[in-house]
Amino acid sequence: MTGTPTRVLVLNSGSSSVKYQLLDMGDGGRLAQGLVERIGEDTSRLAHTPLRGGGAKRERTGPIPDHAAALKAVAEELAADGLGLDSPELAAIGHRVVHGGLRFTEPTVIDEEVVAEIERLVPVAPLHNPANLLGIRTAMAMRPDLPQVAVFDTAFHTTMPEAAARYAIDVETADAHRIRRYGFHGTSHAYVSRAAAKLLGKEPGEVNVIVLHLGNGASASAVRGGRCVDTSMGLTPLEGLVMGTRSGDVDPAVTFHLKRVAGMSADEIDVLLNKKSGLVGLCGDNDMREIRRRIDEGDERAALAFDIYIHRLKKYIGAYYAVLGRVDAVVFTAGVGENAAPVREAAIAGLEELGLAVDADLNAVRSDEPRVISPVYARVAVAVVPTDEELEIARQTFELTGGKVTRTTNA
Ligand code: ADP
């Protein structure tokens, strides 16, 4: 017997991959998750993990020519677990969409007009939005009757004041080409800042939080009373912190210098700054585990890469402290932020005058739970909050389509 449908399928479609999770918003639990990769190649692979009922992880290999075939294969795997996409218990499908421009400030039910608008934003997100649209079109063709929702990486940042969102360049040129700071990772910043408030026993509206999302891509945000007032990524995800393969902030003159002096094309500079810079450009590795291992062995290049990474991070903590005026918590999240204790220790070291400190024992604890790692005497909490973008997309999708979330894990 089925009651109100409570399941939400979350799709994160890349150009050659689809990540998915099926969640039950009745209890916030995960039913299944998986990944299709190398779509369009002969060596495509689907890895599917049922998360309830004790089934084992399953894999398929062999050509999956396009996103339609990928989603069909996902549907088959889900159906094999009794979780088919034709089930009346499926309430909606939530899609991660990277760029929502200024138009999409909230999660949005997708119709043809919304698809057209996401398409119109392709020039500012040439890598991501077309891939997101492939997933949307495929899922809509499969279940045209089902509400499908776009949840935008940029949406949380649309509350930034103009003073933070505008670059100081000619206004007419900027407006003609929609050049401004949009910010990304917004779903994570939204989830983590809310979960941090909960960890402190407060409402989101009562606290000011600096969120440091440190994954392979990395961004910081300043969140005042639940609303983003500044973030480190800009027109594209290239701006801001040192990342796995992205430079983050550089003097924009570096680009025309490379063009004039090294004869590089715009596309070559794009690849250099997005794919061959950051930690990988500095020391050849972008995995923080490997960098720490090399530092322990006395590797100076790895040590310098780490120092540059930390120096930039510290600058953003200081900048966002100044932007917020009063800070209740500095929160670390994503792969590096959740796991790399030495990064947290080094980023906060020396900031005692700002009321910031890390307790070595608490920092060393490994856990999947949100936790405070500052000593009891510290004026400002330092915390680790594991991010959960899929749960946040599912929650926003479910609420927008009329579902009421009764209990979710952390937020
Ligand atoms: P993304 O979603 O941006 O691909 P993640 O948030 O999954 O990235 O973070 C991936 C990064 O997290 C890895 O590149 C690695 O540097 C870092 N990482 C993961 N586990 C650890 C660990 N135990 N210690 C240090 N760094 C880690």
Structural domain boundaries in the chain:
7-152, 203-389
| pTM of this structure | 0.93
Active site residue: 81, 153, 230, 328, which one?
153
- Report which ligand 1 atom has the smallest distance to the Cα of 334: 6
User: What does the pLDDT read at residue 4?
Assistant: 87
- What are the average pLDDT values for consecutive 10-residue runs of the chain, which has 411 residues? 82 92 92 94 95 88 94 94 91 96 95 96 89 93 94 97 98 96 97 98 97 97 98 96 98 97 96 97 97 98 98 98 98 97 98 97 96 97 96 95 62 47
Extract the tokens encoding 282: 């500095």
Per residue in 296-330, pLDDT tens? 999 999 999 999 999 999 999 999 999 999 999 99
153 is catalytic: yes
User: What does the pLDDT read at residue 403?
Assistant: 75
Q: Do domains 7-152 and 203-389 have the same CATH topology?
A: yes
For residue 288, the CA-to-ligand 1 centroid distance in Å is 7
Extract the tokens encoding 261: 């002096």
For residue 333, the CA-to-ligand 1 centroid distance in Å is 10
- Report which ligand 1 atom has the smallest distance to the Cα of 343: 25
CATH no. for 203-389: 3.30.420.40
Half-sphere exposure of 123 (CA within 13 A, CB side): 6
7-152 homologous superfamily: ATPase, nucleotide binding domain (3.30.420.40)
